[in-house]
Amino acid sequence: MSDFSEMYAPTEEHEAFRAAVREVCDAKVAPRAAETDELAEFPKASYEALRAADFHAPHIPEAYDGVGADALATVIVIEEVARACASSSLIPAVNKLASLPWLISASEELKQRYLPPIARGDAMASYCLSEPEAGSDAVSMKTRAVRDGDEYVLNGVKRWITNAGVSDYYTVFAVTDPDARSRGISAFVVEKNDPGVSFGAPEKKLGIKGSPTCEVYLDNVRIPTDRMIGEPGTGFATAMKTLDHTRVTIAAQALGIAQGALDYATGYVKERKQFGKAIAEFQGLQFMLADMGMKLEAARQLTYAAAAKSERGDADLTYFGAAAKCFASDVAMEITTDAVQLLGGYGYTKDYPVERMMRDAKITQIYEGTNQVQRIVMARQLLTRG
């Protein structure tokens, strides 16, 4: 029998949190989602709405001016924002991704300096791991950090950086010992205004268009040694530990996108009439809806279980984080595709939101580790158990 202390069902407090997020999103985020996608611009108004309600970085502990939301509450925030606008959901998701390495490994002085501005909404943060030649193979990164007295000098290029150019702080992973492979990588906080930091043009993407994705260029960027996150050579371990937790937030984003598509499609089929009756009465479409709902709920339960493991720091979080991210994102792609099908020709047009949701869902199968990589992670965990 499972110990009841390992239950992960949302509490009344969690559900009240959900209701509060949904109210903000329905009123101030969802109405701007189509425009955000069309203009491909960072959704400043949505950010301000989330910031005003303290939903922009809910994971930051109260000790650093944050809300102190637990992992499941943070998942619920991201899920609800993604239901309204996937681009906007990357605000709380990436603030967590970039700042979690600080919470895991940084000195208290570094935490006190950088976490409160994120918590207050005075700044955002981005996570700089991937490079042009180092995506899934992050250990092959070329960015270098060379010690020079009481400074490090950083040179390199980071690619696929979410909210680059908008964020004020960047968690940058760089090689400090080229001969030590993964043990030669260290992590640093780089500021947007540090001399030598610049950004490429925003990528022209299939989806999440309101979240800028740019290259970050580091050209002889000098930063003080006290901006290293943790000890030299621990950066890669910190990066991987971070992803164990934040893959759960990508699962949450996938849940929200899928829920938004299912909600819209369900409403549509009850209103749309063909052959003299609502198309919801046709068994073929009912079976589609049943499968969509069933798979979404299975994904939600797996994601919430993984969130509970993230909160507790369970030993099997690596497996559950990978499983939740992989399953939920595959389900989101399937559900959004089926939602387009349920709307027929209308689903294929920008007059209806499901085509946007379908495009937005695709990235959840790719970033923070492709689903092929997630399956490698899960298989290794299974093969090394016991």
- Where along the chain do its domains lie? 4-120, 125-234, 236-384
Please check the confidence at residue 259 and state whether its pLDDT lies above 70.
Answer: yes
Number of neighbours of residue 62 by Cβ within 10 angstroms: 10
Condensed to tens digits (0 to 9), the pLDDT of residues 321-339 reads 999 999 999 999 999 999 9
Please check the confidence at residue 6 and state whether its pLDDT lies above 70.
Answer: no
Q: What angle is formed at CA 256 by the lines to CA 51 and CA 161, rounded to 5 degrees? A: 65
State yes or no: is 368 an active-site residue: yes
Strand pairing class (151-162; 144-148) = antiparallel
Q: What percent of the chain is predicted at pLDDT more than 90? A: 97
Q: Which of 202, 321, 165 is nearest to 252 (CA)?
A: 321
Residue 290: which residues within 8 A CB-CB, separation 6 or more? none
How far, in Å, CA of 37 to CA of 337, rounded?
Answer: 18
Mean pLDDT of the residues in the chain: 97
What's residue 4's pLDDT? 43
Please check the confidence at residue 209 and state whether its pLDDT lies above 50.
Answer: yes
**What's the alpha-carbon Rg for the chain, to the nearest Å?**
21
* The amino acid at 205: K
Q: Which of 241, 152, 167 is nearest to 199 (CA)?
A: 167
Q: Which CATH architecture has domain 236-384?
A: Up-down Bundle (1.20)
- CATH domain 125-234 topology: Butyryl-CoA Dehydrogenase, subunit A; domain 2 (2.40.110)
Condensed to tens digits (0 to 9), the pLDDT of residues 35-94 reads 999 999 999 999 999 999 999 999 999 999 999 999 999 999 999 999 999 999 999 999
Residue 118 near residue 95, CB atoms below 8 Å = yes
Please check the confidence at residue 159 and state whether its pLDDT lies above 50.
Answer: yes
What's residue 120's pLDDT? 98
Chain position carrying tokens 């068994």:
283
What's residue 1's pLDDT? 36
pLDDT-derived band at 261 (thresholds 50, 70, 90) equals: very high
Please check the confidence at residue 5 and state whether its pLDDT lies above 80.
Answer: no
Kindly report the pTM of this predicted structure.
0.97
Please check the confidence at residue 386 and state whether its pLDDT lies above 80.
Answer: no
What's residue 8's pLDDT? 83
| Active-site position among 80, 215, 311, 368 | 368
What's residue 385's pLDDT? 86
Residues 186-204 have a mean pLDDT of 98
Residue 187 near residue 230, CB atoms below 8 Å = yes
How far, in Å, CA of 230 to CA of 130, rounded?
Answer: 20
- Is 228 in a helix, a strand, or coil? strand
Q: Which CATH architecture has domain 4-120?
A: Orthogonal Bundle (1.10)
For residue 178, give Cα distances in angstroms to 183, 275, 305, 347.
9, 69, 39, 51
Condensed to tens digits (0 to 9), the pLDDT of residues 7-45 reads 688 999 999 999 999 999 999 999 999 999 999 999 999
pLDDT-derived band at 183 (thresholds 50, 70, 90) equals: very high
Poorest-pLDDT segment among 9-18, 261-270, 356-365: 9-18
